[in-house]
Chains A and B, each alone.
Chain A
Amino acid sequence: MNKETLALIFGMAIVTFIPRFIPIAFLSRWNIPEKIKMGLEYIPVAILSAIVFPILFFDGEGAFGIQPQFLLSAIPVFAFAWKIKSLWGSVILGMLVYWGLGYIL
């Protein structure tokens, strides 16, 4: 590995590790005020929504537009997950639907 690639990989590793480590290392040792806990409560659902919605409405290049194969596959997965909270099941179902739609669309 040349020096350029070495610097790149270690540089990326360090700057990625810092925001991952600092909060859990320090906050876990403090008593977090209720107000901040309230703010943190909605972070998982917010991050997940912010990840899921754009997949359905943006293409691979970042252009805005309805993605029919993703959107249509998402509907049965959403319904299935609502009734049966199975991660495995959702992934398999989603893959099958998406695969099938690839032949129809």
Chain B
Amino acid sequence: MRDSGFRDGAKAALPIVLGYLPVGMAFGILAQKAGLTPFEAGSMSLLVYAGASQFIAVEMISKGIIWFPIVLTTFFINLRHLLMSSTLSLFFNRNSLRALGLLSAQLTDESFAVAMSDSSKISNRPRYLLGLQMTSHLAWISGSVGGAFFGSLIDPKGYGLPFALPALFICLLVIQIKSPNHFGMMVIAGVSSLFFKWAFPGNWYILLAALLASGIGIIIKPKAQSSKLKKSFPSPSMGKDKWEG
């Protein structure tokens, strides 16, 4: 059944595709306005594949900023991938660097969250994650190229599309609430993220809120019963949450 892993992953990506197509198009439109060709917009979506930094990059381009400050900004915006990659590392201890390279290059908030919603599906099964990520990536690239080509012909703000990704994130968030501790963590991270976003520019708030939460997680966990540790991830038997994607 190893072959079906890729297909399962691709199927699981469909909600992400629904979100990435319009947002990708929005990026394509802005990229074209900033003077990029569809090929350049598509290349950025292919090689960088990080929405927030891509949007900020084209904004900086339209302001006439040269490449080096943009690359530096991109680095800081995308630092949060450190945390997601660290979390994923728990599930891949028998894979080649080449496989890990391919997987990590396509790591995004959305595919990470979908992968984590049922971690039993990814444990040392790179094909599932690959199917998930490549399908999502393709949608992102297609949206970008389409947006750059067709400009303002289609309205990515209609049909409730602006809420597609937020709705996906909300569902993924709910799936992660596996205990009262997780609920409390949601409140702590959520409320603190509001403060951090208000206080700091850019996307620092995500990284800061996540670090705060994991810091608290390290402190409070030792007080929990030791039997809970046996149930903590990762293990292939986890992911008993019932969900259909």
A-side interface residues toward B, CB under 8 Å? 1, 4-5, 7-13, 15-17, 19-29, 32, 34-55, 57-58, 62, 64, 70, 73-74, 77-78, 80-82, 85-88, 90-91, 93-100, 102
Chain A residues, Cβ within 8 Å of B57: 8, 12
Q: Is the CB of A9 within 8 A of B185?
A: no
Bound-state CA distance A35–B150 (Å) is 51
Q: Is the CB of A88 within 8 A of B175?
A: no
Q: Is the CB of A85 within 8 A of B101?
A: no
Chain B residues, Cβ within 8 Å of A51: 109, 169, 193, 206
* B contact patch SS: helix
Q: Is the CB of A86 within 8 A of B243?
A: yes
Q: Is the CB of A19 within 8 A of B81?
A: yes
Q: Is the CB of B210 within 8 A of A47?
A: yes
Most buried by A among B75, B171, B232, B233: B171
Q: Is the CB of A9 within 8 A of B210?
A: no
Contact residue among B71, B72, B92, B206 (Cβ-Cβ distance under 8 Å from A47): B206
Most buried by A among B40, B107, B161, B166: B166
Q: Is the CB of B175 within 8 A of A81?
A: yes
Chain B residues, Cβ within 8 Å of A4: 66-67
Q: Is the CB of A28 within 8 A of B95?
A: yes
Of the A-B pairs whose beta carbons lie under 8 Å apart in the complex, a sample of 20, sorted by A's number, is A5-B67, A12-B70, A15-B71, A16-B53, A17-B105, A27-B85, A29-B93, A40-B87, A41-B214, A42-B189, A42-B217, A43-B213, A47-B206, A48-B113, A49-B193, A50-B192, A55-B169, A81-B173, A86-B243, A87-B243
Beta-carbon contacts under 8 Å, B170-200 to A: 170-177, 181-182, 185-194, 196-198
Bound-state CA distance A42–B223 (Å) is 15
Given A41-B233, A52-B166, A94-B160, answer yes or no on A1-B50 (Cβ-Cβ < 8 Å).
no
Q: Is B47 an interface residue (CB 8 A)?
A: yes
Chain B residues, Cβ within 8 Å of A13: 47-48
Q: Is B138 an interface residue (CB 8 A)?
A: no
Given A24-B88, A70-B163, A94-B164, answer yes or no on A1-B185 (Cβ-Cβ < 8 Å).
no
**Closest chain A residue to B108, Cβ basis:** A20
Chain A residues, Cβ within 8 Å of B109: 47, 51
Chain A residues, Cβ within 8 Å of B116: 44
Bound-state CA distance A7–B238 (Å) is 43
* A contact patch SS: helix
A9 to chain B, nearest CB (A): 5
Chain B residues, Cβ within 8 Å of A47: 80, 83-84, 109, 112-113, 189, 206, 209-210
Bound-state CA distance A21–B104 (Å) is 5
Q: Is the CB of B218 within 8 A of A53?
A: no
Q: Is the CB of A48 within 8 A of B44?
A: no
Q: Is the CB of B74 within 8 A of A15?
A: yes
